[in-house]
Amino acid sequence: MIVLRNLTKVFRHGGRRKVVADNINLTIPSGVSVGLLGRNGAGKSTLIRMIAGLTAPTSGEILTDGQISFPVGISGAIHPDMTGAQNTRFVARIYGVETDALVRFVEDFAELGDHFHMPVRTYSSGMRGRLGFGINLGIQFDTYLIDEVTATGDADFVEKSRKLFRARTEKAGAIFVSHSIPQVRQMCDAGAVLSGGKLYYYPDVEDAIAAYETRAHG
């Protein structure tokens, strides 16, 4: 599980103050795929970065009893001057998994062809997403963080990605950020809505979607 305890994040810029997380206290259960919903600018990516340990909160803390993945889709998770293969090996070493096995998995899954051995800065955004998605789901985590990644490619590749995500989350949890309501319905069991610095958790994803749509159109 992931425990957010008195979690607060405030940005100050040019004399302005923006509160992304306002003293949030919430426990996200283990083994649940949670769709994180909110308007543009609500702070969803910042929250994901805090859970991943990439961004420090202003105050409060985040506790977990499991291993959390790096966040797929967030800029900076993949080094642009390294090849896809080099990035894969680097992440494997960080998390202590067998490097050659992960490289073989990602090369097969991501379907990047020769680009797998080229610098990531030469990739399209879709190719970066496929690489990051493959690296992330190639490792067994307790919680997967997925931020605004839609698998790109033909229908077979999209279906392959969906099946892999669901297979992984049969034994693990996930926090899945997407503006695609059909995708959230397909991928998630529960939901959370970030609004005005507050985070509202719903055990049923349909309740979360209804709350999000009410706030979005309110």
Across the strands, what pairs with 21?
Answer: 9
Whether the pLDDT of residue 58 is over 90: the answer is yes
Whether the pLDDT of residue 186 is over 60: the answer is yes
Whether the pLDDT of residue 148 is over 70: the answer is no
The pLDDT, as a whole number, for residue 71 is 82
Rounded distance between C-alpha atoms, residue 105 and residue 111, angstroms: 10
Residue 217 binned pLDDT confidence (cut-offs 50, 70, 90): low
Classified by CATH at the fold level, domain 1-69+143-218 comes out as Rossmann fold (3.40.50)
The pLDDT, as a whole number, for residue 73 is 64
Residue 162 binned pLDDT confidence (cut-offs 50, 70, 90): confident
Pair 83, 118: CB distance under 8 Å:
yes
| Structure-token match 């069991």, residue found | 189
Contacts 24+ apart (CB under 8 A), 38-41: 38/193, 38/194, 38/195, 38/212, 39/195, 39/215, 39/216
Single pTM value for the model:
0.86
45-54, 102-111, 143-152, 184-193, range with the lowest pLDDT: 143-152
Report the chain's terminal Cα–Cα distance, integer Å.
32
Residue predicted with more confidence, 148 or 109: 109
3-state secondary structure of 55: coil
| Structure-token match 């999209």, residue found | 158
Residues of the chain with CATH 3.40.50.300: 1-69+143-218
The pLDDT, as a whole number, for residue 157 is 79
| Structure-token match 């919680």, residue found | 143
